[in-house]
Structure 1
Amino acid sequence: MSHRFESLVVRHTHRVPAPSGPAGDGSVVARQFDAALLSVGFKLSSRAFACLAGLSEGTVVDVAVRILRTVREMAGDHVRHNAYFIDFPANVPDTADFWRECVADALADDRTRASTLAQLDTGVVDLRTLPSYGRYRHTYADLLARHDELIAAAGDRVTVLHLGEPLEDEVTSLYLALAGSTTPLGEEVLDDLRDLAGHCVDGPQPESVPVRENRAVINQVRLAAGAVLLLDTVTDVLRLACAVSGGDVSLQQPTRLRTLPRPVRRALLAGLDTLVAADPAKAADVHAHREMFKRLGERLHPHEYPQWPHAAGVFAVARGERTARSLDSRVEELLGRGDVTGAAAVLRSAPGRLLRALDRLLRSASSPEESDAVLAAVEEALPQVSGRVLLSVREHLHNRPRETGGQRLFVNRLGRGHVTGDTRRPVPGPARERLIAVLDAELRRRVGVADHLLIDPDVLDVALPLSGRASTGGLGVLPRGSVSAVEGELLRFFVYWKETAVSTDFDLSALLLDADYETVSWLSYTDLRGVGGRHSGDIISAPEGASEFIDLRLDTVRATCIVPQVNIYDGEDFDEVEESFFGFMLREGRQKGRPFEPRTVRMKSELRGPGRVALPLAFLRGADGRWRAKWLHLYLPGTPSQNRVEGNRLTVAALLRAIVEREQLTVGHLTELMTGDATTVDVWDGKKVPAGPVTFVGLERPDGLHPDSRVVTPGNLRDLIPA
């Protein structure tokens, strides 16, 4: 089987698939492998080490080479992280002095003297035209030679790699877990699901594929393999057409549908025909994406296939030639007449939509009788609604202001966010409290009561991944809204990018805000030594890859919020560059080392999203003086070029305030629901694990857990979300 699948298993599960090979004494090589892993912040579990030690040296070497390559990429250590200022964080010059030096170098250069003088005459000099600005003046080897070796510290990250099952079993388990996920997957994970689905097309399949984007990716693979398609609505067919065309299966962005081969056209039309023949009401779903269905009809040529008349009828609805009244139109008509009870009755046939319309129905109710009718319909519908929707509504009600006013935060499935004023009338208090109680009761029924819970307290403030692009691919990444502790003297951000075809300039910056979200200062290429921090220097193109760093001493920062951001000043988007990622390191002052040290990396996430400004996370100082990370995973539109931290301060502050002041539904809430009178609850202290099976919920799986234990970590946090 391809080594790519082995890498997928390691990245998603932190398990090393049990290798096969001749027996032998591989203990020496296994120890060397473990030491090499430790240098990049990883370590073998006792079972994984014992398994490798019992194999031949050649087998262990082969495994070590492959796994090391994977974990180095996980930590961002697979590329060379050079810094513009070779001694960074030492000897970073004053910004104005550095710019004057660059101008002086340009005037001393015969090739640039005339153009620089001309710019000086105008009073404005473009730094990018100066030959010594923004381009490395030393090699990566030169940089390494200038830095002392990193001193090991107890706080360095150690991620344990556990022993898994044979590779084929691990691949199947991973496919079933991703395909059956109850929450949406990020773009990177969807790509992994596509590869896994192709390999597992003839093997076991999940009982259901509840997330429609996942279903579209799986259907794309099944279509190519000639397997039966998994279709439930006509929109599933449209999503599949977008997948085949290389477009957006979430339907958030327009897709230019390609000309489809005849076998594909037949499969899509047959699927549509079967769906509508079994339930004609499904044709009403066309209205939500009417224009896209028109385009799809132009590609499928339904008039050439008279054997599928119901499929042709779908496109007649899209063109307005046939009536198929949608559920939404019936509800709107009833609400327009003030008939809230009637609208709730109609929505009983679509429990998920009823829950999503709940807030509006309660606000529209003009009498206690109407409110009671809505609540009764909701209580009847709860068992038929997905767990993700139940949790989303529970979180919404918890944050619903009791009075008109405040701010509303909107984040779409691509991670683009904006804030607007909340002008809605409040939800009546008694109805709100009643709904919260019945939602928790239904969720408690679904999650079940655990016999023995082993809980890592550090995971309790991790937000549940309930909507959209709540997270990204990477190492140590948590869902949007999560809070995690930050321990260390030095906080160092980094960004790496490599352009594909066009000269591209990413700028790493950090905005510092006070307790009222007002700007204190910032660190960027325009202020290299602000607020006691250090910027590694501006790199303006990355044909071979480039890195920028920001270094801050947390005990000297005079701000309440630190918001790192990546601005695209010029060139390719985050989705267009060959590679780009962001992360942060924590280290002690005495550790020294290179600008990038993989075992001090606490988080590394891919930068793939819309817009020209990325906001991965923020750092907040609490009333106790301790720093915590708040995960954002947001993208701002920005401007086509010349994005700078100075230009988006107000937007960033408004978004940060909205996320910080919103209370997320967390892992802690679900573990409370899993706790009953007979439940044994232990707090994981990092020492001895219980002898019997447990349900462990934490940031990192402990070594030595009973094999029958249920383990939930950020890598499979979706497993906590009930179906």
Structure 2
Amino acid sequence: MVHRLEPLVIRHTRRIPSPTGPAGEGAVAARQFDAALLSVGFKLSAELLERLSGLSEGTVVDTAVRTLGTVREMVGDHVRHNVYFIDFPANVPDTYDFWARCVAEALADESARESVLEQLGKGAVDLLTLPSYGRYQHTYAEMLGHHEELIAAAGDRVTVLHLGGDAEAEVTDLYLALAGSTTPLGEDGLRDLDVLARACVDGPQPETIPVRENRAVLNRARLRAGAPPLLDTVTDVLRLACAVSDGDVTLVAATRFRRLTRPVRRALLAGLDSVVAAAPAKLADVHAHREGFKRLGERLHPHEYPQWPHAADVFAVARGEKRARSFDSRVEELLGMHDVTGAVELLKSAPGKLFRALDRLLRMALDQEERDVVAAAAEEVVADVSGRVLLSVREHLANRARDTGETRVFVNRLGRAWVTEDERPPVLPPERERLIAALDAELRRRLPAPGRLLIDPDALDVALPLSGRATAAGLGVLPRGSVSPVDGELLRFFVYWKQAAHRTDYDLSALMLDADYATVCWLAYTNLKDLEGEHSGDITEAPDGASEFIDLRLGAARGEFIVPQVNIFAGEGFEEVEESFFGFMLRGSGQRGRPFEPRTVRMKSDLRGPGRVALPLAFRRGEDGRWRAKWLHLYLKGTPAANRVEGNRVSVATLLRGIVEREQLTVRYLTGLMDVTTTTLWDGKTVPEGPVTYIGLQRPDGLHPDSRVVVPENLRDLIPE
């Protein structure tokens, strides 16, 4: 059981649970393990290397096999990355010359000649009908034979794996951290929490579970173990029903409820009955998810259980047979009468809703007296609002000083993005500044005193992870809105996908924009090479998996922005394929090597979102000439088929402008509020003696064991409750 959960610990914490086994002479095997790790961009910490060296060779080998499989998958090296052009990035042909060659080869092929001649007679040829187009013309082994070994460079990525504690304790700690998270987890986080909850259901439990989706996952594990679920709202029961049916516990997508066993039906009905019996006003919560409750009622058959009449009331409200006025409808009624003062008074009983409505209330206020009422109410209840909501409102207000007519970007919980013109009048400066001051003061009060603070300067512009859905699973991934430095001569993007059932064609492209977000050029299968770089060639199906690459010479880039994107030309979506991921590598000009070299991978993220166009991140050249990544994690709806960079470049540029020009709350902001003893910017080398609070992109080797460490994997720990 512990070995099965070890990969979760490594992925989430970069720690290997303390290996156990007989003592022995494992030093040689440990050094070999370390060398094998280095080939994929990882290494053992000094403490972990010492621990392994004192164990038997067999124990070290077993640990190495398990760990290497995990880290190779983390970086994307668990699959074979072939390229269409065998010498890529060398000898990539001109696009039209390449197409003409494919036509010539088809004309020489007796089985294809007639079809191609017919198409030529009509003035156009479908590239997909040409035998040599879009399919690998050589094996993976043949491709490797055309590439020299990678020359190691000081700038190659090295991710340190540290020594963890006892395996059971590591699993428990990870479970408690995910279950008690103050911010929602992403899809992968919820999936991992489910695995951990099953293993830890009989062990220690978090004191509080602030996020309702997490509670649903835990409740499913409790239900399976015969323990009573933790329920205090009717929506908790609906989420649990979705979890039991392997549906969407976030309630964004409709769940098709399965046929439920009698014990599960009884547990859900008893839970609904107890919630409503204790607080009848909670029946009003049914309105927010009426359709879900109606469909659930068809599975639960509440009429068969007269001992739980309050549960039957829930479904009566959902069907409109019983009246239960919602809190939101009362607020809307007051606002419909332009009674801002009355609405504010009511909203004070729901502080989170009040803060989410602040912008609207201030815009509806008719005079200074009403605006003062709104601001005063916020100041009165600010201590009762969750830290995540406070930070979200603080970020919102920071962006409300702009003039009417600016771009307004919307991003839903799934990462789907769209843009519109912002026609709202700005929040007036006196109220905006007053509320920002109140928010800063409350957040400063809640933040713990970190003592000696050691900060990696590269982490200062990392955006605060107000939701786990603002990022993606993977290695080196930062939350949406983060900015991180990019140092290297060659920037190489890659995408890998493997279709599940139908022919699927993903197209990797890179769009170059100038300072005004106008198109300069692009690299794609329709433009295989340009001054900036080369494309590895179009692959149009992936039954065994396929990869595409783009090489970019940063020094030759004519634009100010580089926007990589993955377009679905045909076939299965990002959530339908067996596997798909995107990433980028940085190399020196003389490093050579295979198209995919794991030690040069700086970021690898899963592509699992709605829409037909993925925008993982963008790169921007600063005034100092340095390039920096701006993390997006966005998906555009696109079209059902034939998405191409040429067709979406305007919408991508508009969306990028909205994201780039939006002010984000970052680590820099939050650490500026902390009451610290001393603050030191880490130079990447010197580790101080004694415990510190370290915030950075990776834990340094040699920190004092009592230090508090915050890295991207647990950045959510910075968000106050």
TM-score strictly above 0.5: yes
Provide, for residues 457-515 of structure 1, a one-character-per-residue CA deviation record: whole Å limited to 9, x for no partner: 10000001113610011000000000000000000000001111111111100111111
Residue 593 to residue 281, structure 1, CA distance change in 2 (3 Å)? same
TM-score scaled to structure 2, two decimals? 0.99
Aligned: 1:153 with 2:139: no
Q: In the alignment, is residue 330 of structure 1 matched against residue 330 of structure 2? A: yes
Deviation of 1:346 (Å): 0.5
Which residue of structure 1 lines up, in the alignment, with residue 490 of structure 2?
490
Contact 1:523 1:531 in 2 (8 A): no
Distance 1:148 1:600 in 2: 15
Equivalence for 1:562: 562
Aligned partner of 1:235 in structure 2 is 235
5 Å-filtered alignment, 1:140-219, equals 140-219=140-219
Deviation at 1:402, TM superposition (A): 4.4
Instruction: Give the distance between the partners of 1:273 and 1:167, measured in 2 at CA.
Output: 40
Name the residue aligned to 1:632.
Answer: 632
TM-fit CA distance, 1:705: 0.8
Distance 1:531 1:366 in 2: 58
Distance 1:173 1:580 in 2: 30
Moved more, 255-264 or 545-554: 255-264
Equivalences for 1:535-546 in 2 at 5 Å?
A: 535-546=535-546
Distance in 2 between the 1:647 and 1:228 partners? 53
RMSD between aligned alpha carbons? 1.0
Which residue of structure 1 aligns with residue 132 of structure 2? Answer: 132
What is the aligned partner in structure 1 of residue 49 from structure 2?
Answer: 49
Superposition deviation, residue 232 in structure 1? 2.5
Give the distance between the partners of 2:675 and 2:407, measured in 1 at CA: 34
CA distance in 1, matches of 2:532, 2:466: 38
Q: What secondary structure does 2:555 align onto?
A: coil
Partner of residue 680, structure 2:
682
Aligned to 2:695: 697
| 2:710 corresponding residue in structure 1 | 712
Structure 1 position 116 matched with structure 2 position 116: yes
Equivalence for 2:520: 520
Summarize deviations over 1:628-670 as a string: whole Å, max 9, x none: 0000000111111111111111111111111000010001111
In the TM superposition, residue 189 of structure 1 has moved relative to its aligned partner by 1.5
Asked whether the equivalents of residues 449 and 675 of structure 1 are also in contact (C-alpha less than 8 Å), the reply is yes
Distance 2:326 2:242 in 1: 23
- Distance in 1 between the 2:402 and 2:463 partners? 23
Q: Which runs of no fewer than 5 residues in structure 2 stay unpaired?
A: none
- Residues in 2 aligned to 1:237 and 1:658: alpha-carbon distance in whole angstroms: 38
The equivalences for 1:266-665 within 5 A come to 266-467=266-467, 469-665=469-665
The offset of 1:568, in angstroms, is: 0.8
Name the aligned partner's letter for residue 367 of structure 2: S
Cα deviation code 1:363-411 (max 9, x no counterpart): 1111222122211211121111111000000000001134322121111
Amino acid at match of 2:715: L
Q: SS state of the match for residue 213, structure 1?
A: helix
Secondary structure of 2:17's aligned partner: strand
Match of 2:624, SS state, is coil
Classify 1:503/1:241 alpha carbon distance in 2 versus 1 (closer, same or farther; 3 Å): same
Deviation, 1:530, is: 2.5
**Alpha-carbon contact 1:522-1:531 (below 8 Å) kept:** no
SS of 2:586 mapped into structure 1: strand
For 1:489 and 1:9, locate their aligned partners in 2 and report how far apart those are by CA, in whole Å. Answer: 34
1:31-60 residue CA offsets vs partner (Å, 9 max, x unmatched): 111111111100100100010001011100
Q: Distance in 2 between matches of 1:468 and 1:292?
A: 24
Distance in 1 between residues matched to 2:653 and 2:152, nearest whole Å:
37
CA distance in 2, matches of 1:424, 1:131: 55
Per-residue deviation, residues 120-144 of structure 1 (Å, max 9, x unmatched): 1111211111100011111111111
Deviating more after overlay: 227-236 vs 697-706: 227-236
Instruction: Note if contact 1:388-1:722 (Cα within 8 Å) is conserved in structure 2.
Output: yes
Query: Per-residue CA shift, 1:97-132, capped at 9, x if unaligned?
Result: 000110111111111111111111111211111100
Whether contact under 8 Å (1:213, 1:249) holds in the other structure is: yes
2:92 is matched by which residue type in structure 1? V
Once the two structures are superposed, residues 338-364 of structure 1 have per-residue CA deviations (whole angstroms, 9 ceiling, x without a partner) of: 111110111111111111011111111
Who is 1:69 aligned against?
Answer: 69
**Aligned letter for 2:700?**
P
Give, in angstroms, the shift of residue 2 of structure 1. 4.5
Question: How far apart, CA to CA, are the structure 2 residues paired with 1:591 and 1:490?
Answer: 10
Separation in 1, partners of 2:689, 2:19: 27
Contact 2:185 2:467 in 1 (8 A): no
Alpha-carbon shift at residue 532 of structure 1 (Å): 3.1
What amino acid does structure 2 have at the position aligned with 1:50? Answer: E
User: Residue 424 of structure 1: CA displacement?
Assistant: 1.2
Instruction: Give the residue type in structure 2 aligned to 1:694.
Output: V
- Output the CA distance in 2 between the equivalents of 1:380 and 1:690: 42
Partner SS, residue 329 of structure 1:
helix
**Inter-partner Cα distance in structure 2 for 1:411 and 1:521:** 27
Counterpart of 1:14 in structure 2 is: 14
Q: For structure 1, list consecutive stretches of 5 or more residues without a partner in the other structure.
A: none
Cα deviation per residue 1:192-217 (whole Å; 9 max; x = unaligned)? 11100000011111111111221222
Q: Which amino acid aligns with 2:249?
A: V
User: Match for residue 38 of structure 1?
Assistant: 38
Tell me, in whole angstroms, the C-alpha distance in 2 between the residues paired with 1:468 and 1:75: 20
Rounded Cα–Cα distance in structure 1 between residues aligned with 2:129 and 2:340? 65
Whole-Å separation in 1 of the counterparts to 2:68 and 2:300: 47
Q: Which moved more, 1:286-295 or 1:505-514?
A: 286-295
Cα deviation, 1:268-301, whole Å, max 9, x if unaligned, reads: 1111111111111111111111111111111111
Q: Which amino acid aligns with 1:706?
A: H
Question: Would you say the 8 A contact 2:355–2:378 is kept in 1?
Answer: yes
For 1:111, what is the secondary structure of its paired residue?
helix
CA distance in 2, matches of 1:417, 1:408: 11
Corresponding pairs, count: 721
For residues 616 and 212 of structure 1, what CA distance do their matches in structure 2 show? 27
Equivalent AA in structure 2 for residue 648 of structure 1? N
CA distance in 2, matches of 1:404, 1:686: 44
Contact in 2 for aligned 1:564/1:617 (Cα 8 Å): yes
Q: Which 4+ runs in 1 deviate beyond 3 A?
A: none
Counterpart CA distance in 2 for 1:121 and 1:712 is: 65
CA distance in structure 2 between the partners assigned to 1:332 and 1:163 by the alignment:
55
AA matched with 1:625: G
Moved more, 255-264 or 491-500: 255-264
For 1:616 and 1:145, the matched residues in 2 are separated by 32
Q: CA deviation at 1:92?
A: 0.2
Tell me the distance in 1 between the aligned counterparts of 2:646 and 2:112: 29
CA distance in 1, matches of 2:369, 2:579: 58
- For residues 7 and 260 of structure 1, what CA distance do their matches in structure 2 show? 32
Q: Match of 1:161, SS?
A: strand
Amino acid of the structure 2 residue aligned with 1:543: P
Cα-to-partner distance string for 1:423-445 (whole Å, 9 max, x where unaligned): 11221211110110110111011
- The SS at the match of 2:556 is coil
Q: Is the 8 A contact 1:402 1:429 kept in 2?
A: no
SS at match of 1:458: helix
Q: Distance in 1 between matches of 2:405 and 2:619?
A: 27
CA contact (8 A) 1:491 1:553 kept: yes
1:236 CA drift (Å): 1.4
Q: In 2, are the aligned partners of 1:414 and 1:468 still within 8 Å (CA)?
A: no
